[in-house]
Structure 1
Amino acid sequence: MSSTMKAAVYHGTRDIRIEQVPIPHPRDGEVVIAVRRSGICGTDATEWTAGPVMVPVHHRHPASGHLGPMIPGHEFVGEVVDGSAELPAGTLVAAGAGVWCGRCDRCAEGRTNICRNYYTLGLNAPGGLAEYVAAPARMLRTVPAGLPLDAAAMAQPLAVGLHAARRAGARHGDSVVIIGAGAIGTFTLAGLSHLIHVDITVVDLPGPKLDRAAKLGAARTLSAHDDVVAAVLELTGGRGADVVIEASGAPGQFETALRMVTTGGRVLAVGLPKDKPAVDMFSLALREVTIDSTVAHVCDDDLGVALDILAEGILGPLLLDSVISLDDLVTRGLEPLAASRVDGKILVAPTHRNW
C-alpha cells in the first residue's frame, strides 16, 4: 500500500483542495478504515462558505489537539484495513464520528455527546473525505450483511435524528409537528416513527420532500406557503401541537414553532438559524412552554439502531441524491448544497473503484 492517499483538505473559507497526504497510522484504540462513502451535510457547507467555525484551522482544538488545515467528513462508512481482534481487516463499519473520553461527569451520565472532552472526526480532527481515516474502534459499528454502502453511509446522520427524536420528549399518542423536511428533518421523522406511535405533521415547501415525508410515516403534510399555525390549531381543536420540532433553520420558523405549540408543550430546536430568533418571552412564560435542544448523538444508544432502520431498505433509497467523486466535492457537492439545491443526501466515493 502506498504511503500517501488522496484527500480533501480544508484550508479556509471556500478553500478545499484535493491533495496527496500521508495515510494515517492508528493510535491506541484506533483502526484504519478504507473509506467507501462519505456523506456531506449543511454543517460541511457552512464551514466551506462561512468558516472556519468548528474546524480548528487557526486555533488548536482543546480535545483533539488539531491545528491547521484538516480533512473534513464526519459521515463515513468503509472497510477496516488495519484492525483489531474485535474489528479485523475486511470488516465493513459505519462511524459515529464523535469521540468521548469516558471519564467525565457527562460520560458517567451516559450523555457522551456532550462529553467535556468531546470532538468530532471531520469537524475537529481529520475525517472521512479521504481514501483512508483512523478512527477509535469504540465509535464504529459493523454494517449489517446486505446493507448497501450508500444506505450505510447515512447511519451517522440518522443517529443524530434518532437522538433528536428522543430529546423531543414525545409521548404515545402526542401530536407532533416537524418543521422542515430536508435531510435532518427526515432523519428525525424516521427516528420518531421508529421509537414511538405519535401523530406527525410535517411542514415544508410543496414538492418531493413532503412526498418523501408522507412515505416515511407522516400522517399529513402542510405547505409552508399556507398559514400553518392556523392549520395546526384547527387540526388540534385549538389546543396546538404537543411537541413541535423545528428542523429547518429557516428565518422565522422557530417563532412559528412557539406559536403553534400547546400550553405546557415542548419545542425542540434542531435547525440552526443564521439570525437570532425573536422570542416572545411573555407568551412563553405564561404558557409554560419547554424549549429544548439537541446535538450529535449517543453512539451506544443510536448508531446501531440507525443501521437497523437502514437495513429495512426504505429510508436509504428515498434519501439518496447522488454519489460523486472526491474531485467533484465542491462543484457537485458543496456548491449545490450551500445553494439549497439538494433535497437528499450527497455521498462521496473517495476512490474510483466500483464499490
Structure 2
Amino acid sequence: MAQIVRPTPRRGPSYSALMRAAFFEAYRQITVRDTPVPEPRSGEVRLKVRYCGICGSDLTCYKTGVLAGPDVVLGHELSAVVDVDPAGRWATGARVTVFPSGTGCGECVWCLERKFRYCLNPPDRPHGGGFAEYLTVPAENLIALAEDVDDRAAALAEPLGVALRGVAMAGPKEGDLAYVSGLGSIGLLAVSGLAAAGCRVIGADPREDRRGLGLELGCDAVLDPTREDPVRATMAIDAHGPRVAFECAGVPESLQQVFDSCGHGGTVGILGIPVAPVFLLRMTLKEQRAFSIQGPSFESMERALDLIRERPQIAKVVTGTVPLDLADDAFARLVAGDGGIKVLVAPEA
C-alpha cells in the first residue's frame, strides 16, 4: 500500500526537495501542487512514476467525496521505475508495477493465509499515491516487468488483476455463457479474462465505442441495455441463461439486470461499486451465488502481466494519457462520460 505522508525530503545533487502531486482536496476538486519528495522508511523503496491509471474507485472519491479523506494523493494502477532502494534489493531503474494492498501485520489469521487485505491489525499505510512524480511503497509489493511489456500496458496490471481474480472466483468452465454489464475498463478487462478462459461472452453497455471494443477483446455478442432486454438477449443465446455474470458499471440498474439475467444456480460477481439497494427476489428464487471483489491478488497481477503479453490487444483499453497538471480535467471528463475509457496520468509529461 502506497505511502502518502510527507516526510522530510532527502536533499542531494540529483534531487530537488519538491515534487509535483495531484491532491484530492474535496468533492470534485483535485489540485496539483508542490510537496516534499518522500523518503523511504524501513523496508520501503522510492519509485518514479511512469503512468498511473484513473480507477473507478478514484472516480467514486472524486464525484461523491467518500472513500478517501481530503488532502490525499489517489492512484494505485501504476507502472514505475525504482528510484531508491536503501536496502539494495532492487536496482535503480528497474521497471515495476505495484501490488496496491498492504502486507498487513503478518501475525493475524488472515495474514498467515496471505489474505492481507483482510488484516485485523493493518499498519497505517494509506492507499494510493500514484498521481505524483514519486511515491514510496513496501519493497515486497513490487512486481518486475518483462522487457516486452511497455509502461502504458503495465499500468493495466492492477485492474486486469482485479478482473482475473473475479473470473477465478466465479469459476466458469470452458464453453459457459458469461454476461458482463458495463464495458468500461474493468468490464472490458473482465471480458478479456473470460474469453481467455474459453467462455462465450455477452457484453452490455449503452456506448457504441465500448461495445465495439468489447467485440475486439473477446465478446461474442454485445447489446445496448437501454434498447434491448438483457434477459431476453441472453436467453436467446442459451435458454439456461448465463452461468456467470459480472456487474462492472457501478450503477444499481446494472446490478439488477445482472441478477435478473444470470441463470439458475449461476454466479454473480460484483466488480463495480453500485451505491443503492437492489431487489433480490430473482437471486433468491434462482439460488444464485454472489460475491464482491475490491482488489487483485499478487498471483492475479502476475497472471495479468502474462495475459497482456499473450493478448496485446488488451492495451486498447487505454484510450488516453494526460499530464499531471490536467488530472482534474481528466477526472471531470470521465465523470461526465466523455473522457474515454481508461485514462492514464503521466507525471513526467
- 1:209–1:343 contact (8 Å) kept in structure 2: no
1:167/1:323 Cα in 2 relative to 1: closer, same or farther (>3 Å)?
A: same
Cα–Cα, structure 1 residues 262 and 146, in superposed 2: closer, same or farther, change >3 Å?
closer
Equivalent residue number for residue 97 of structure 1:
100
In structure 1, runs of 5+ residues without a counterpart are 58-68
Which among 183, 188, 208 is matched to residue 186 of structure 1?
A: 188
Partner of 2:321: 323
Give the direction of change, closer, same or farther, for the CA distance of 1:210–1:125 in structure 2 (3 Å limit): closer
3-state DSSP class of the match of 2:320?
Answer: strand
Query: What is the CA–CA distance in structure 1 between the aligned matches of 2:194 and 2:49, rounded to whole Å?
Result: 29
Count residues in correspondence. 332
Q: Deviations over 1:201-223 (max 9, x none)?
A: 11112512111111112222222
Query: Residue 67 of structure 2 corresponds to which residue in structure 1?
Result: 54
**Aligned residue number for residue 335 of structure 2:** 338
How far apart, in 1, do the equivalents of 2:250 and 2:203 lie?
14
Label 1:126 to 1:120 Cα distance change in 2 as closer, same or farther (>3 A): farther
Distance 2:195 2:237 in 1: 20
What is the root-mean-square deviation of aligned Cα atoms in Å? 2.0
CA–CA distance in structure 1, aligned partners of residues 204 and 229 of structure 2: 11
Tell me which residue corresponds to 2:139: 137
Deviations 1:122-159 (Å, cap 9, x if unpaired)? Answer: xx345111110001111111111032211111111111
- Determine whether 1:302 maps to 2:316: no
1:241 aligns with 2:245: no
Please say if residues 126 and 133 of structure 1, whose CA atoms lie closer than 8 Å, have aligned partners that are also in contact. Answer: no
Alignment counterpart, residue 176 of structure 2, candidates 169, 174, 177? 174
What is the 5 A alignment of 1:30-69?
Answer: 30-51=44-65, 53-57=66-70, 69=71
The answer for the alignment partner of 1:276 in structure 2 is: 277
Matched-pair contact (CA < 8 Å) for 2:76–2:100: yes
Quickly say closer, same or farther: Cα 1:28–1:205, change in 2 above 3 A: same
Do structure 1's residue 7 and structure 2's residue 6 form an aligned pair? no
CA distance in 2, matches of 1:17, 1:212: 32
Q: Percent identity?
A: 28
Any idea what SS the aligned residue of 1:275 has?
A: coil
- Partners of 1:313 and 1:148 lie apart in 2 by 13
Report the TM-score when normalising by structure 1.
Answer: 0.87
The offset of 1:317, in angstroms, is 3.6
* Alignment CA distance shift 1:56-1:292 (3 Å): same
For residues 193 and 313 of structure 1, the distance between their equivalents in structure 2, rounded to whole angstroms, comes to 10
CA–CA distance in structure 2, aligned partners of residues 119 and 40 of structure 1: 25
Alpha-carbon offset, residue 273 of structure 1: 1.6
After TM superposition, which residue ranges in structure 1, 4 or more long, deviate above 6 angstroms? none
Q: 1:92-241 maps to which residues of 2 (within 5 A)?
A: 92-101=95-104, 102-117=106-121, 124-125=126-127, 127-194=129-196, 196-224=197-225, 225-237=227-239, 239-241=240-242
1-structure distance, mates of 2:290, 2:342:
29
SS at match of 2:267: strand
Please say if 1:290 is aligned against 2:289: yes
**Alignment deviations for residues 24-58 of structure 1 (CA, whole Å, 9 cap, x no partner):** 1111211000111111122212212221x22234x
Q: Quick one: structure 1 residues 119 and 98, their matched pair in 2 at CA, closer, same or farther if it must change by over 3 Å?
A: farther
Query: 1:42–1:338: 8 Å Cα contact kept in structure 2?
Result: no
Name the amino acid aligned to 1:42: G
Q: Higher mean Cα deviation, 209-218 or 304-313? A: 304-313
Return closer, same or farther for 1:192/1:138 CA change in 2, 3 Å cut-off: farther
TM-superposition CA deviations, 1:85-123 (whole Å, max 9, x none): 3311110111121112133222333433333345897xx
Q: Does 1:349 align with 2:343?
A: no
State the 1:279 CA deviation.
Answer: 2.2
